[in-house]
Structure 1
Amino acid sequence: MGGTYKATGINLKSMPLGESDRLLTVLTREFGLIRVVAPGSRKHKSSLGGRSGLFVVNQLLIAKGRSLDKIIQAESLQSYAGLSQDLRKLTASQYLAELALFQALSEQPQEDLFCLLVEHLDRLEKLPRGVTLASLAHATFHLLALAGVAPQVQLCSVSQQLLVPDFDDPNWRVGFSAVAGGIVSLAALDQLTAPKRSAERSEIEGSNICSGQAAGVQPGGIWAMGDRPNPAHESPSSYPTRTPKKNVELHLQINATELALLQQLSQPDFIQPDGTLAQPQDRPIEQPLPEQIWLSIERILRHYAQYHLDQPIRSAALIDTCFSPLPQPIPSP
């Protein structure tokens, strides 16, 4: 690349460096993920001050250094100022930045990842505030697809049978398994969770023997991330049992509306500019949807992404804070 080089990139992380500099982590089209110094950018009148902010897209001229490269010149192309003016949108954009960082490579062109992230940040900024969670779920699914680990949402991941949501039955459910790679029939879900239930019983029985105290099985146990089996080569009964160590929910049940939404997330124009959802004519979904539905979809994709990318999404805690419904006040007697 010589003494200097040019790159177009978006700032995804920033931290103070020295008395007045910033160290930026930038996703570039040409060279993937780079770490560069923005000299003097923390000074009040610095020309790099605004250009070193989060989610600013710059055309950069960079000088090679022994340990860290330095920005010589930056021309802002896009800033997404609207994201920082809304806490929900800012939190969602930080969430997407984490997902991009998990899969970004260094010293390799990352044109597709750069363009996809910028596209969804642009949508997130422009869409109505009420569809922020829907936009986050849409972008998350596309980033997982680009990474090659999008969940299977059309066929049972075990039997490969087509699973169609039944809106006529309010009790209809289907399984979702991060281990299997997506949706599964309830029969397959029962096979997948059988080793966990057996392990829980064994652990409780062993605890009872040691302590002499009775204990009850806790429902909804969570398995930790670890070495994952390949669902294409192993039967559900051969999946390893793991102890509950990390906050990743691997097996759960979802309803017809949740499945229908998951099945539409791959569509590029699923969310229209006015915030309405584009839907197939054969199975329309009543709109507007309660925000709680989208919170459920986000959590499904969150646990799936954390399992397959083997990284915790730290911004998820803020998602819970920003979007979880407030507790209802208890009426006085």
Structure 2
Amino acid sequence: MPLYREQGVVLRTQKLGEADRIVTLLTQGRGLLRAAAKGVRRTSSKFGARLEPFMVADLQLYEGRTLDTITQASTLGAYGPHISGDYDRYRAGSVMVETAERLSEGGPAPEQYRLLIGALRTLAQGSIPAALARDGYLLRAMAAAGW
């Protein structure tokens, strides 16, 4: 089971057992990826906050049979707290990550990855209204997907 490194945006998380989580990521090189993060729901977790939605992280994973496992995570972009603090931004960010997940199901999508990071960065800065950032992302993402 080889180790590999990847950069990814956390799209969503799901509970797995008592202390684990399944993290859905849009990665730069592998596209859409689901991975298990062991022990992240414990208070003593080393990388629990780095694997929340809207966060960009550099990850070390190892391949498993059904799910890969995250062994290390470091933050590259902490957009989650800024987006989650405002309802309009959170709503727009949720639409963005769901769209990215639906448009990236076929395999590696580096253009979708770059678009999503730029849109989340703009949304977290709050320099333009959330609805405009959301609509601009949706139009660019659909054009990149061939719509």
TM-score under structure 1 length normalisation: 0.42
Alignment of 1:187-198 (within 5 A): none
1:138 equivalent in alignment to 2:136: yes
- State the alpha-carbon separation in 2 of the partners of residues 105 and 7 from structure 1: 17
Query: Deviations along 1:246-297, whole A, 9 cap, x unmatched?
Result: xxxxxxxxxxxxxxxxxxxxxxxxxxxxxxxxxxxxxxxxxxxxxxxxxxxx
In the alignment, which residue of structure 1 is the partner of 2:29?
Answer: 30
- Residue 100 of structure 1 aligns to a residue whose secondary structure is helix
SS at match of 1:71: strand
The match for 1:147 is: 145
**Structure 1 residue 109, shift from structure 2 partner:** 2.6
Q: Using the aligned pairs only, state the percent identity.
A: 31
Q: What letter corresponds to residue 133 of structure 1 in structure 2?
A: A
The equivalent residue for 1:85 is 85
**Higher percent of residues as strand:** 2
Q: Deviations over 1:203-259 (max 9, x none)?
A: xxxxxxxxxxxxxxxxxxxxxxxxxxxxxxxxxxxxxxxxxxxxxxxxxxxxxxxxx
Runs of 4+ residues deviating >4 angstroms:
none
Deviation at 1:105, TM superposition (A): 3.0
The yes-or-no answer on 1:63 pairing with 2:62 is yes
The alpha carbon displacement at 1:3 in A equals: 1.2
Whole-angstrom distance in 1 between the partners of 2:126 and 2:56? 20
Structure of larger gyration radius? 1
Letter in 2 for 1:6: R
**Which residue in the other structure is 2:53 paired with?**
54
Shift of 1:136: 1.3
RMSD over equivalenced CA pairs, Å: 1.3
Residue 10 of structure 2 is matched in structure 1 by 11
Taking the aligned partners of 1:96 and 1:54, their CA distance within structure 2 comes to 11
Write the letter of the residue equivalent to 2:143: A
Distance in 2 separating the partners of 1:124 and 1:72: 29
List runs of 5+ in structure 2 lacking aligned partners.
none
Separation in 2 of the partners of 1:6 and 1:109? 15
Answer 1 or 2: higher relative contact order, Cα 8 Å, separation at least 6.
Answer: 2
Q: Distance in 1 between matches of 2:65 and 2:98?
A: 28
| 5+ long unaligned stretches in structure 1 | 150-333
Shift of 1:101: 0.8
SS of the counterpart of 1:121? helix
Which secondary structure state, in structure 1, belongs to the residue aligned with residue 54 of structure 2? coil
